[in-house]
Amino acid sequence: MEFLIERLPLYLEGAWVTVQLTAGGIALAFVLAMFFGILGTRSGRFPRAVSTVYVEVFRGIAALVIMFWMAYALPIATGFQLEGRFAAILAVGLNLGAYGAEVVRGAINAVPRAQVEATVALNMSWSQRMRLVVLPQAWAQMLPTFGNLSIELMKATAVVYLIGVADLTAVAQQMRQGTGETVLAFMGALVLYYLIAQVMILGIRLLERRANRRLGRIPSDGGGLLGLLRPPTPAAGGGK
């Protein structure tokens, strides 16, 4: 315990880098997922083809390979050197964004066809249909899977030390090499990764409950803090 307490500031610095990488990767992945996911639902062949190419390419390549390419191959090919953290964010964002795009596409297609047809009958534009009817319902369906993808993205950042980024895993590795205390060195990283994941899970569940409450699927009180500790359960007869 004394080992971890003495080195806590170093672990917290590494954890802060991990949080920054996770936040940046989630932001990029979310933008890409929404753009290419919505593009994949359009009626034209060209938009769907563009979405399919992005999804299949980046879903089929490991995030670590993309990271190495961004950090080492891109400078040789273009002469442009990316900063390590930015390369890592691009890699995990591009990779997880491809998975997220399929989540968005599936959630949008799951919205009842009758509701979409009703918006057409009301002479709503495409942007009005998406903003007022389709996306609010699809958003509630996307969130559980988005939460899982966000956790996976956070865990994917554990390899960024391989391109020289001093994240939480890099700190644990340095502690192991410097002190020989393998178990204690990685125990500190294990606990902090777990805490980061739990905070993310609580945040996602809060968003889930808010989205379902706006759709009338759960009671307005939401069960308080204890309600956030368990997955949201739709109210009887809700969402019809």
| Whole-number Å distance between alpha carbons of 190 and 221 | 35
Give 239's pLDDT tier (boundaries 50, 70, 90): very low
Mean pLDDT for all residues in the chain: 86
Q: Which residue has the tokens 């938009």?
A: 47
Reported as a single tens digit per residue, the pLDDT across 46-103 is 999 999 999 999 999 999 999 999 999 999 988 888 899 999 999 999 999 999 999 9
Which CATH number describes the domain made up of 2-228?
A: 1.10.3720.10
Give the burial class of 180: count Cβ atoms within 10 A of its Cβ; 0-12 exposed, 13-18 middle, 19 or more buried: exposed
DSSP label of 60: S
Crossing angle for the helix pair 135-156 and 84-110, nearest 10 degrees?
150
Listed in sequence order, the residues at least 6 apart from 139 whose beta carbon sits closer than 8 Å to its beta carbon are: 107, 211
| Whole-number Å distance between alpha carbons of 184 and 1 | 8
Is the per-residue pLDDT at 128 higher than 80? yes
Nearest to 47 by CA among 55, 36, 59, 57: 36
Is the per-residue pLDDT at 203 higher than 80? yes
| Whole-number Å distance between alpha carbons of 207 and 5 | 34
Give 219's pLDDT tier (boundaries 50, 70, 90): low
Give 169's pLDDT tier (boundaries 50, 70, 90): very high
Q: What is the pLDDT of residue 121?
A: 85
Of 51-60, 69-78, 208-217, 228-237, minimum mean pLDDT range = 228-237
Q: What is the pLDDT of residue 117?
A: 84
Give 220's pLDDT tier (boundaries 50, 70, 90): low
The answer to whether 103 and 41 are in contact (CB under 8 A) is no
Q: What is the pLDDT of residue 140?
A: 85
The separation between CA 119 and the C-alpha centre of its own chain, rounded to angstroms, equals 31
Give the burial class of 220: count Cβ atoms within 10 A of its Cβ; 0-12 exposed, 13-18 middle, 19 or more buried: exposed
**Coil, helix or strand at residue 239:** coil
Q: What is the pLDDT of residue 228?
A: 54
The answer to whether 192 and 39 are in contact (CB under 8 A) is no
Of 117-126, 147-156, 162-171, 220-229, minimum mean pLDDT range = 220-229
Listed in sequence order, the residues at least 6 apart from 176 whose beta carbon sits closer than 8 Å to its beta carbon are: 182, 185, 186
Listed in sequence order, the residues at least 6 apart from 126 whose beta carbon sits closer than 8 Å to its beta carbon are: none
Take residue 66 and report the two structure tokens written for it.
Answer: 């993309």
**Coil, helix or strand at residue 14:** helix
